Amino acid sequence: MRNIKDIMVVGFALFAMFFGAGNLIFPPYLGLVSGSSWLTGFAGFVLADVGLALLAMLAAAKCNGEVSKILSRSGKILSIVLGCAIMVCLGPLLAIPRTAATTFEMGIAPLFGGFNPVIFSIIFFVLTLLLTIKPSKVVDIIGLVLTPALLIALAVLIISGIVSPLGDISSTSMIENVFVEGINQGYQTMDTLGAVALSTVIIATIANKGYKDEKLKVKLTLQAGIVASIGLCLVYGGLAYLGATVSKIYGVDVVQTSLIVNITSSLLGQPGKIILALIVGLACLTTSVGLTSATGQYFTKLTNGKLKYELVVIVVCIFSAIVSNFGVSTIIQFSAPILSLIYPATVTLIVLTLFGDKIKNNNVFKFATYTALIVSLLTVANDFNISIPFVLKLPFASLGFNWIVPVVIAGIVGNFVRSKKAKYNKLNRVA
């Protein structure tokens, strides 16, 4: 019974930490632009979000929740650079500021039109700091208190939209490749990167609850991840359906944050704005708390305690408060190329880590990861009108996975390339 309770508490906390700004605004928009194909878009979204996040949680659990261990076999320099890039994106540069900006635009502004966004960002991050400063309490606070309230509020909104749909679903989609759009929107949530980072908080919490055996910690982390994944799939499906029901009302150019505000207001009237403010506030605050704690723990471990946890979370909160005032649209706009650059390399390392016990040659990790980075860099450059046409002709390019085949080939080649250290050890054995 104790195990089940702990799994549910940790699973609920994971759900809430994953379900933040992007998770709330992307599924309704995806449903809107997909029309009658919303299930196809939803499938792509779940694959890029829940599927990869669950793999990331499992890989992180195998490394005892230490981000550096997942990245380390790619090489010392690259692991530090990639690790810092992931944590800065999840931290003060993109994900955490987006939580505050989304809360203001979707929760506060509709209710209190004249409220000052700067003052709100200060209040939001003071709350984040107060809830984050004691890392051992983060998961219990979120799992036992904040998540149930979040789930109840989401259930009221989604069930209302199912019982009384706002309109007929359009028979055609507004975009060409719905599945790819789902994948791209799933990337934007940053949950795969989040899973790598949040595992630090989750593993520490499981250990603090008295679970010391490594295999048991991996098992409990996976089970908690499954609980969170089931909750995410149900909520994503409901939100995507709500978006599909207004596919004849709004166009592709609708502001994403305004869309969910309008849907909630149409379904529930003025009380709906209060419910949405509650959903947004809880969803974004829990994510902000989880990611701030994870960022603090990562940089404290990276510097062997030279940077104190408390100092890191204070700096993260201050910087995030500043960035959040640029607004959601601006943050999403400059986050897309950064995520497109680091996601393939991160996913490559996650998958390889799952089979790490069977891969003896570290060159597999190095060759595959550098190839993922090169292909993604060329793809991003092509998106900025620097013509590199061959990257669009690679296998699976139409699905956004043009890096997969080159990475597989590079990994195979790397397996047959011995490092200098391996050659030296072999010569010593022969001698």
**Cβ 183 vs Cβ 47: under 8 Å:** yes
Structure tokens at 7: 């799994």
CA 264 to chain CA centroid, Å, is 24
Structure tokens at 118: 């700067």
pLDDT of residue 397: 83
What is the 8-class DSSP label of residue 306?
Answer: S
Closest by CA position to 331, among listed 152, 32, 94: 94
Tell me how far apart the alpha carbons of residues 53 and 47 are, in angstroms, rounded to a whole number.
9
Whole-model pTM: value is 0.77
Tell me how far apart the alpha carbons of residues 414 and 365 are, in angstroms, rounded to a whole number.
8
Residue recorded with tokens 């379904």: 267
Q: Within the chain, what is the greatest distance between any pair of CA atoms? A: 82
pLDDT tens for the chain, 431 residues: list them: 567 877 887 788 778 777 776 688 889 999 999 999 999 999 999 988 888 888 888 888 777 767 777 888 888 888 888 888 888 887 788 888 988 988 888 888 888 878 899 999 999 999 999 888 765 565 666 666 667 777 888 888 899 999 989 999 998 888 888 888 898 888 777 788 778 777 777 777 777 777 777 777 778 888 888 888 898 899 999 999 999 999 999 888 888 878 888 888 888 888 888 888 888 887 788 788 888 988 888 888 888 889 998 999 999 999 999 999 888 778 777 777 887 888 889 889 988 988 888 888 889 999 999 999 999 999 888 878 788 888 888 988 877 788 999 999 999 999 988 765 555 444 344 44
Closest by CA position to 134, among listed 330, 7, 292: 292
Tell me how far apart the alpha carbons of residues 287 and 297 are, in angstroms, rounded to a whole number.
15
pLDDT of residue 242: 94
Helix, strand, coil tally for the chain in percent (to 5): 80, 0, 20
Tell me how far apart the alpha carbons of residues 420 and 407 are, in angstroms, rounded to a whole number.
22
Alpha-carbon distances, residue 394 vs 177, 389, 406, 415 (angstroms): 17, 9, 8, 22
Tell me how far apart the alpha carbons of residues 17 and 143 are, in angstroms, rounded to a whole number.
9
Tell me how far apart the alpha carbons of residues 330 and 257 are, in angstroms, rounded to a whole number.
12
* 333 CB burial (10 A radius; 0-12, 13-18, 19+): exposed
Tell me how far apart the alpha carbons of residues 395 and 403 are, in angstroms, rounded to a whole number.
8
Closest by CA position to 185, among listed 349, 17, 375, 33: 33
How far apart are the two ends of the chain, measured CA to CA in Å? 58
Helix count and strand count (H, E) for the chain: 19, 0
Angle between helices 21-34 and 256-302 (to 10 degrees): 140
If DSSP states are collapsed to H, E and C, what string results for 135-146? HHHHHHHHHHHH
Tell me how far apart the alpha carbons of residues 232 and 228 are, in angstroms, rounded to a whole number.
6
Q: Any idea of the CA torsion for 101, 102, 106, 110, to the nearest 10 degrees?
A: 0
pLDDT of residue 123: 94
Tell me how far apart the alpha carbons of residues 82 and 92 are, in angstroms, rounded to a whole number.
16
Contacts for 388 with CB less than 8 Å, ≥ 6 apart: 378, 379, 381, 382
**Cβ 225 vs Cβ 194: under 8 Å:** no
Tell me how far apart the alpha carbons of residues 51 and 259 are, in angstroms, rounded to a whole number.
26
Question: At CA 267, angle to CA 266 and CA 271, rounded to 5?
Answer: 90
- Radius of gyration from C-alpha coordinates of the chain: 22
Element (H, E) at 9: helix 2-18
Tell me how far apart the alpha carbons of residues 383 and 276 are, in angstroms, rounded to a whole number.
35
Structure tokens at 45: 């979204």
